A = this chain, B = another copy of it.
């Protein structure tokens, strides 16, 4: 395995050995280690001192299911802290097949030009790009697929990334040519600051990964894959309804944040829920279930067609549907699908864009429930108008522009689709994760609501600190493996599945890890990230929910009763 390094300041490429300290890291563990080692924590995220790091996980390129997540890391222009955002799609497996453990992009071009990067077995080519500037992600992916073939991996930014907006994401081509996104934290803006429109990956004749004990790995992977298929969440609910199965579940639990976190139930829930979405997809000859990368057996993605049966969007997630739906009081799934399609194409994180629209509605720029108005506003972002420059920089920015103080963010990043007062464990994660509000950083919804990995009352503060801490540690390990987070349902409930992970590490890398070593990996990733954030100027004051959580939320009149002192214990380990 090797490291590819690109310096945009002088348009140079170098290939490096993998230092021993990075050998047993992958995914988030590796991007965070590289960012922490090489990036000045106080630097401007859009300046020449920031670096953008792409890394497949520890298991990328192997035959274990759901191991194709790609991690992207940098200092975030949205939060100002360290950021790892991961995505499905085909890029991680291409990197693995090329034997590339990480691609590090540093510097900023001196000339006012844009570039594209082509990654292949012999290294990297940096070429000036003019043709696709100003174009959306779909056009980039289609053009590159036509140029290099179906198997080409593509990572690209839309107009949002070109404008260096803080909610710009990096899109990754999936096996069907649709879009998966490293969505959060404005990593697309970092790519835009380095003047890279897209990166293509050709893995032909790649050196591939190393594997110490193939048979042992295969045995463990079989056990692991079986556990995924047998678990009711990853084997049944997610394949059928996708993540949007959660609308009804959270609405029932009174934790579906409605009208910018004023209520926990949405009158229009049944019009946007997973069951409704499934029926709609089937009736329009869409595809209700496919995987975002080769080897995915959970297959929570789908293809959502419009009324005429024409492709509209894919990877249509619960958090997107919640945000533009319940969050903004829009109860029309077709409109939300159009918004999702636009965000994918422009390269905008849907959660932060939804949070921004809630703030725009608070400001009176749009009436609540005005889905067509949201579409017009997303169009403004695409055009780079002055309003678009405001909206594209997220909820805090929009709030400041228009004097709004009810802003649903932590560390500048929008709180996702689970109310922190009605699902307290996830509230603890939002407040304390190194990433800014992020449900995927310690998904306590599993144990609070889905009763996976135990059963902790979502409305009671008891046990939530420990739950969030343990999940944040376990998640940092999972995010380093390249495994999809959705394997965690099976891992939390099945001892054979959790042991299989350790067996796979040992089989692939020749280590002798115990379960404790696995969690040590997660702890060490978190410690690296916490240290970076501290050096960037973060304090415990940043580990707080917004002021409005002091209000109670119906229907349970739940209040936020976890103290700051308790929050400050979460990442003490």
Contact = CB atoms under 8 A, between A and B. Distances in A.
Interface in A127-169: 163-164, 166
Interface string A395-422: 0010011110100000000000000000
**Among the interface residues A77, A385, A386, which one has the most CB atoms of the partner chain B within 10 A?**
A386
Interface in A168-200: 189, 192-193
Contacts of A539: 537, 539
A544 interface: yes
Given A47-B547, A547-B49, A541 B400 contact: no
Given A42-B541, A544-B42, A547-B49, A401 B390 contact: yes
Nearest to A542: B537
Interface in A529-557: 535-539, 541-542, 544, 547
A79 interface: no
Contact of A385 (B386, B405, B537): B386
A163 B403 CA distance: 7
Interface in A373-403: 385-387, 389-390, 393, 397, 400-403
Nearest to A165: B403
A402 B387 CA distance: 12
Contacts of A535: 541
A192 B390 contact: no
A542 B537 CA distance: 7
A491 interface: no
A386 to B, nearest CB: 4
A567 to B, nearest CB: 13
B393 A401 contact: yes
Q: Within the oligomer, what is the number of copies of this chain? A: 2
A502 interface: no
Contact of A541 (B193, B403, B536, B542): B536
A515 interface: no
A389 B405 contact: no
A192 B536 contact: no
Given A390-B389, A547-B44, A400 B403 contact: no
Given A47-B547, A537-B539, A393 B400 contact: yes
A144 B369 CA distance: 43
A43 interface: yes
Interface of A is mostly: loop
A46 interface: yes
Contact of A390 (B47, B166, B386): B386
Contacts of A46: 403, 405
Q: Which of A163, A400, A537, A544 has the most CB of B within 10 A?
A: A400
Interface residues of A, number: 35
Contacts of A189: 403
A547 B41 CA distance: 12
Nearest to A77: B400
A400 B400 contact: no
Nearest to A49: B547
Contacts of A43: 547
Contacts of A389: 386, 390, 401-402
Among A193, A538, A539: residue with most chain B CB under 10 A:
A539
A455 to B, nearest CB: 34
Contacts of A402: 389
Interface string A39-67: 00111101101000000000000000000
A46 B46 CA distance: 28
Nearest to A43: B547
Nearest to A407: B44
Contacts of A49: 547
Contacts of A163: 403
A299 B401 CA distance: 38
Contacts of A193: 403, 405
A407 B193 CA distance: 16
A191 to B, nearest CB: 12
A462 B445 CA distance: 58
A536 B405 CA distance: 17
Nearest to A41: B541
A431 to B, nearest CB: 13
A475 to B, nearest CB: 26
A403 to B, nearest CB: 3
Contacts of A544: 42
Nearest to A535: B541
Interface in A73-110: 77
A346 to B, nearest CB: 16
B542 A405 contact: no
Nearest to A536: B541
Most chain B Cβ neighbours within 10 Å, of A46, A401, A539, A542? A401
7 contacts: A42-B541, A43-B547, A192-B403, A386-B401, A389-B402, A397-B397, A536-B541
Interface of A: 41-44, 46-47, 49, 77, 163-164, 166, 189, 192-193, 385-387, 389-390, 393, 397, 400-403, 405, 535-539, 541-542, 544, 547
Please give me the 7 A-B residue pairs with the lowest Cβ-Cβ distance, nearest first. Answer: A537-B541, A164-B403, A386-B386, A389-B401, A386-B387, A47-B405, A44-B405
Given A41-B541, A386-B386, A386-B387, 11 more contacts: A43-B547, A46-B405, A49-B547, A77-B400, A193-B403, A385-B386, A386-B389, A386-B401, A536-B541, A537-B539, A537-B542
